[in-house]
């Protein structure tokens, strides 16, 4: 029996545009399980990224609740959400969003220093390990502007996991990358998941979606499809793609 790590109950998200209400999420209900590599897919404008931001507490919900660790994230204060962001959650953005005047190493270590449970030396040691793991150890002192997209995104992933978050959120992490870098980043995420990291990722890329152990399909602000998959094995990539494609086609993707 999988343990629920995050649970959304009748979540609504709307915003006003030109005097009219635009509804993005219309009663979203979903449970995210520990250890899963969950991917959210859907057509453009279906509410994928909004779902991710609401579930991570980055964005507020207009209605409903998002329960994490017994607490409703939609009702938490900004201060408590801040603590959650560095201690329990990690976030990887499509555009990387590394701080431009910090080196790769510093970008990783800054959220690490926010964690009061770890000493500075422990944080620095972990950062060194992550740099090594991500294969960017030799460019650790480079600025983001001096690195390729793939290198930046690997740094962003390292930053997101420096504090060993319970859940890693990723919003189209390969959206701005070329094929080679995409493959490298997906490999890293897959490996992290194999080592126990729970991941919730938004993507429109079939190849990226195939890395998941669970795919959720969103349409009109609601989950209308839920596919469980076995743990990813690159040997089964082709058949996996066929399976996922067929499923998506059935949902008129």
Partner 1 sequence: MKSILKLMQAHIRRGKDAFFGILLLMSLITFSFSGTVSNDDVLRNELEKNFAEENVGDLVIMMYDDNLTEDMLSSLDSNTKVAGYSVKKLMYLKSLPVVDGHEEEVVLNFRRWNEDINIFNDSSDGFTEDNELKQGEILLPYKLKMNKRMKPGAEISFTTSSGRIEKYTVKGFYEDKVFGATTVTDSYCVLPEEDYDRLAAEELDHTDSPRRLLLMAAEIHIYAADGVTAADLSRDLTDGPLIRSANAVSSRQHLMELFEMYSNTGTRGMAVFTLILLTAILITMHNSISASVEMEYTDLGILRALGFSVSRIRLIYVAEYVLALVAGSILGIIVSIPVCAVLIRKWMNITCILTDTGVSLFKCAVMAIAMIFVCIGFIFIATSKVSRISPVRAISGGRREVYFDSRLNSRIRKHPFSLSLVLRQLNTHRRSYAGTAFIVAILVYFLVSITLLTANLDPDKLFSTTKGEINILNTGGLTISNADEIEDAVREMDSGASLYTKSSHRMIVDWEFVSVDSFRRTEDQYDIIDGRQPKFDNEIMLTKNLADDLGKTIGDTVTVTYMDKKDEYIVTGYFQTIFEFGNVSMMTSEGMTKLGYNDIREAQVSLSDTSKKDEITDMLNSRFADRLSASENKESATMLTYKKIVNVLMNSSIYTMYVVILIFAAVVVVMLCRRSFIRERTDIGIFKALGMSAGSLRNQFALRFAAVALIGSVVGGAASAFLARKMIAFMLKIVGLTDIKAAVSPMTFALPAAAVCICFFVFAYIVSGKIKSVDVRELITE
171 binds partner 1 (CB under 8 A): yes
| Binds partner 1 (CB under 8 A): choice among 140, 154, 159, 222 | 159
Q: Give burial (CB, 10 Å; 0-12/13-18/19+) of 145.
A: exposed
Q: Give burial (CB, 10 Å; 0-12/13-18/19+) of 8.
A: buried
- For the record, the structure tokens of 217 come out as 């399909």
114 binds partner 1 (CB under 8 A): yes
Q: Contact letters (x/-) for partner 1, 64-83, by CB under 8 A?
A: --------------xx--xx
Alpha-carbon distance 161 to 87, whole Å? Answer: 10
248 binds partner 1 (CB under 8 A): no
153 binds partner 1 (CB under 8 A): no
Alpha-carbon distance 192 to 194, whole Å? Answer: 5
Shortest spacing between CB 55 and partner 1, in angstroms: 12
22 binds partner 1 (CB under 8 A): no
Residue with tokens 């944080």: 123
| Binds partner 1 (CB under 8 A): choice among 37, 91, 217, 232 | 91
Alpha-carbon distance 209 to 252, whole Å? Answer: 16
What residues line the site for partner 1 (CB under 8 A)? 49, 53, 58-60, 78-79, 82-87, 91, 93-95, 97-103, 106, 109-111, 113-114, 119-120, 123, 141, 143, 145, 159, 171
């Amino acid at each position: 029996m999988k343990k629920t790590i995050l649970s959304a109950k009748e979540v609504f998200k709307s915003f006003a545009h030109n005097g009219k209400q635009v509804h993005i999420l219309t009663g979203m209900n979903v449970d995210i399980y520990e250890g899963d590599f969950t991917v959210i897919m859907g057509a453009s404008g279906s509410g994928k990224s909004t779902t991710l931001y609401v579930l991570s507490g980055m964005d507020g919900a207009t209605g409903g609740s998002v329960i994490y660790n017994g607490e409703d994230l939609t009702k938490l204060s900004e201060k408590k959400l801040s603590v959650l962001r560095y201690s329990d959650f990690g976030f990887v953005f499509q555009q990387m969003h590394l701080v431009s005047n910090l080196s790769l190493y510093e970008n990783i270590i800054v959220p690490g220093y926010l964690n009061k449970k770890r000493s500075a030396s422990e944080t620095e040691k972990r950062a060194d390990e992550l740099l090594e793991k991500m294969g960017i150890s030799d460019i650790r002192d480079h600025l983001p502007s001096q690195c390729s997209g793939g290198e930046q995104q690997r740094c962003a992933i390292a930053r997101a996991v420096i504090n060993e978050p319970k859940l890693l959120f990723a919003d189209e992490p390969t959206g701005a990358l070329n094929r080679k870098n995409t493959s490298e980043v997906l490999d890293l995420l897959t490996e992290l998941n194999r080592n126990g990291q729970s991941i919730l990722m938004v993507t429109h890329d079939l190849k990226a979606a195939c890395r998941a152990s669970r795919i959720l399909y969103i349409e009109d602000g609601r989950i209308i499809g839920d596919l469980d998959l076995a743990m990813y094995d690159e040997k089964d990539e082709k058949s996996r793609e066929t399976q996922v494609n067929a499923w998506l086609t059935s949902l008129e993707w």
